[in-house]
């Protein structure tokens, strides 16, 4: 049994807590939270933009800490699941790794490359696993793409376009703070940067155009430059209109096939969806894919984390170095936007 301590019971901490219930061999044995009500199990004030809302939780059998160092020191725990704000990721992860715990940390890995490097190096020194929850590869459309590419049935990926947009999250006071959250680049687009790195590799350069809000990129489009050349691009950021709170999609080109999907949340009109579609020659099909229920997706991600811990080997989907590369790509995109030219990665 892998015994887990969750650091931070906000929306994501709650989602992880619920997802662990679906995973045999994993047990949430401890939580750490400053809010007294949440520490006592009253999670009714927790709300998010997907999945269930908070409720009263029975925390009997769960050790409840207000001090993170005390939870990290708990000798019964095998892994610390970090669901704290991004500016806490490096400090807590390094402390947990140094204490001999495995770490699973929500994205982004950190807000700076220096902090990401500290985390990766701490894991190497401790001989423990550092895993980052980017989650998107476990959504059924992206999982199908990943498995299809690995299976090589339709050849190598030769290009693609990705999009991920949200309405302005004006309920998040620190969203545009580069030292707290990092804005759309690190909170939103990093999902696609991570997937692009996963299936295409590290680009040699990026060329981004767009707009800034304060010190962070607001809306932007990027060309990812490769040798030999590949047509890879992405668009991301925020829009002011709340009528479309979220949209994402991709069109990915393989040597012998094309895969695409598109989704827009439109509360006033009803969601618009183009399901995952596979084009091979003159034939278009809709592949059967897994559940898109967010709890099932996060459970799949955490199940992979548990598998990795049991096997004592890094997961290719959760690796700290991969998440660190995604952060570097995003930072270079912002640099390119500011300099109005392509920059080397």
Q: Which tens digits make up the pLDDT trace of 105-157? A: 999 999 999 999 999 999 999 999 999 999 999 999 999 999 999 999 999 99
What is the fold of 2-133?
A: Rossmann fold (3.40.50)
168 within 8 A of 296, measured Cβ to Cβ: no
Distance CA 132, CA 116 (A): 11
- Is the pLDDT confidence value at 337 over 70? yes
Q: Report the DSSP pairing between strands 130-133 and 102-106.
A: parallel
pTM score = 0.96
Distance of alpha carbon 25 from the chain centroid: 23
Asked if the domains at 2-133 and 137-297+326-344 fall in one CATH topology, the answer is no
Handedness of CA 104, 194, 266, 242 (dihedral sign): positive
Note the pLDDT tens digit of each residue in 74-115. 999 999 999 999 999 999 999 999 999 999 999 999 999 999
204 within 8 A of 226, measured Cβ to Cβ: yes
Task: Please tell me whether residue 279 adopts helix, strand or coil conformation.
Answer: strand
pLDDT at 335: 98
Q: DSSP string of 128-149?
A: --EEEE--GGGSHHHHHHHHHH
- Kindly state the percentage of the chain with pLDDT values over 90: 94
**Mean pLDDT in residue range 201-210:** 98
Other C-beta atoms closer than 10 Å to the C-beta of 69 total 12
pLDDT at 49: 66
* CATH-assigned architecture of domain 137-297+326-344: 2-Layer Sandwich (3.30)
43 within 8 A of 9, measured Cβ to Cβ: yes
**Mean pLDDT in residue range 58-64:** 96
Q: Phi/psi of residue 46, each to 5°?
A: -80, 125
Going from N- to C-terminal start, the domains of the chain cover 2-133, 137-297+326-344
């Amino acid at each position: 049994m892998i015994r887990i301590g969750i650091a931070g019971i906000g929306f994501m901490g709650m989602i992880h807590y619920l997802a662990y219930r679906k995973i045999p061999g994993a047990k949430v044995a401890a939580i750490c939270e400053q809010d007294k009500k949440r520490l006592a199990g009253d999670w009714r004030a927790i709300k998010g933009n997907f999945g269930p809302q908070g409720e009263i939780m029975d925390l009997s059998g769960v050790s409840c800490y207000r001090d993170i160092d005390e939870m990290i020191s708990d000798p019964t725990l095998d892994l610390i699941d970090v669901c704290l704000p991004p500016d806490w990721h490096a400090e807590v992860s390094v402390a947990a790794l140094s204490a001999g715990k495995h770490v699973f940390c929500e994205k982004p890995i950190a807000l700076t490359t220096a902090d990401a490097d500290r985390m990766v190096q701490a894991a190497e020194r401790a001989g423990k696993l550092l895993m980052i929850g980017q989650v998107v590869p476990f959504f059924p459309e992206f999982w199908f793409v990943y498995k299809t590419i690995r299976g090589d049935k339709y050849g190598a990926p030769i290009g693609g376009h990705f999009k991920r947009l949200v309405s302005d999250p004006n309920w998040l006071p620190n969203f545009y703070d580069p030292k707290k959250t990092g804005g759309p680049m690190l909170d939103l687009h990093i999902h696609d940067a991570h997937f692009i790195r996963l299936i295409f590799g590290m680009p040699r350069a990026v060329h981004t155009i767009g707009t800034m809000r304060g010190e962070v990129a607001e809306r932007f489009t990027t060309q990812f430059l490769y040798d030999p050349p590949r047509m890879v691009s992405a668009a991301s950021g925020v829009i002011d209109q709340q009528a479309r709170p979220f949209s994402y999609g991709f069109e990915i080109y393989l040597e012998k096939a094309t895969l695409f999907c598109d989704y827009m949340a439109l509360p006033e009109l009803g969601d618009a969806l183009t399901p995952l579609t596979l084009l091979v020659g003159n034939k278009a099909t809709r592949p059967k894919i897994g559940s898109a229920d967010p709890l099932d997706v996060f459970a799949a991600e955490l199940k992979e984390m548990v598998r990795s811990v049991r096997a004592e080997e890094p997961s290719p989907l959760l690796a700290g170095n991969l998440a660190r590369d995604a952060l570097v790509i995003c930072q270079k995109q912002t640099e390119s936007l500011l300099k109005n030219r392509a920059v080397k990665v």
